[in-house]
Amino acid sequence: MDIQEYEIADVKLITAKQFTDARGSFCEIWSDRRFRSDVENVTFVQDNQSVSRLKGTVRGLHFQRPPFSQAKLVCVIRGSILDVAVDIRRGSPSYGRHVAVKLDAASGTQLWVPIGFLHGFCTLEDDTEVFYKVSEYYSSEHDEGVYWNDPDLEIDWPVNPTDAVLSDKDQRHPRLSELPDFFTYNP
């Protein structure tokens, strides 16, 4: 497992070692022991899968507030996405900044999005499937978000805002400046 860190050190890109031969390829995409020792000591309680039919579909920016906060481990099993994690931990030196990385099925890369971050993605291909593990069960009462195209976040989305495919809910999220402080940075 190769782990790449970013300026926002808590977000990590994980690439599993792939073994290829005439049949195709094999890789170990999940190992509880390795993840706990090399990335984060976390227990995942739920696996989620989304299918987006159209290129330019945006899902996010989402999070769950305490006490049902979720960390996520995200990968693509068909197609590709621009995956985004935004730091919303008050007091963090990277508050309001983001990591944006392309994830695709061919590379097998995964993005670790810890608690205290917004998460969202934009599909780069039609019929894209995203699979992610979460560290807490879904709670509709704690489900929150920030407007995906908040200009203060300066995310360079790969879709024109008028062409983006969004849910009604994602179009109504507040801007980051309107969000209460749900998370505090603890170095």
Catalytic positions: 62, 132
Neighbours of 15 (CB within 10 A): 14
The residue type of 183 is F
Kindly calculate the radius of gyration of the chain based on its CA atoms and give it in whole angstroms.
Answer: 16
**C-alpha angle with apex 101: 112 to 48, nearest 5 degrees?**
45
Residue 40 half-sphere exposure toward CB, CA atoms < 13 A = 19
Alpha-helical (H) ranges within 12-124 are 32-38
